[in-house]
Amino acid sequence: MMANFENEILFAARLLLGGAFVFAGLRNIQNAGFLTQMMAARGVPEARLMLWLGIVLQVVSGALVISGVWTAAAGLCLVLFLIVATPMFHNFWDHQGPERASRINGFVGNVALTGGFLALVAQPV
């Protein structure tokens, strides 16, 4: 019975996964000043440029995932993005108390998103 809804389920998966990154990228525009400072403090060269490249990658790759165009390539781009961004922004090992718990939640969420994108990439075209 579920096979009858395979396309709809796959579209919902693409919408949720890609939509999370379109939303996050647009939200990051509002926080660009703060995020640039954070990245610079962590030693990222050309932090402002790197932030904007990350935002463009999030929004464009997320939109491609949603649309089903170049899904595997866009998914892999977002996996690479997560590999770089997760330890930078969810560094729970540097925190204690509620801040640590919040960072752990973000870290685990990004690990789960990575798994979702890998599953999407593995889907036959």
Is the pLDDT at 1 greater than 60? The verdict is: no
Q: Is the distance from CB of 110 to CB of 7 less than 8 angstroms?
A: no
Closest CA to 78 of 26, 21, 19: 21
Does residue 123 come out as left (phi exceeding 0), alpha (psi in the -120 to 50 range) or beta? beta
Residues 79-118 have pLDDT tens digits of 999 999 999 888 889 889 999 999 999 999 999 999 999 9
Number of domains in the chain: 1
Q: CA–CA separation, 8 vs 4, rounded Å?
A: 9
The CA-based angle 35-38-39, given to 5 degrees, is: 85
Quick one: tokens of 118?
Answer: 């890998």
- Give the pLDDT of residue 56: 98
State the CB neighbour count (10 A cutoff) for residue 102.
Answer: 13
> In which domain, by residue range, is 28 found?
2-122
Specify the pTM. 0.89
Buried b (16+ CB within 10 A) or exposed e, 69-82: eebeebbbbbbebb
Residues 10-62 have pLDDT tens digits of 999 999 999 999 999 999 999 999 999 999 999 999 999 999 999 999 999 99
Task: Count helices and strands (H / E) in the chain.
Answer: 5, 0
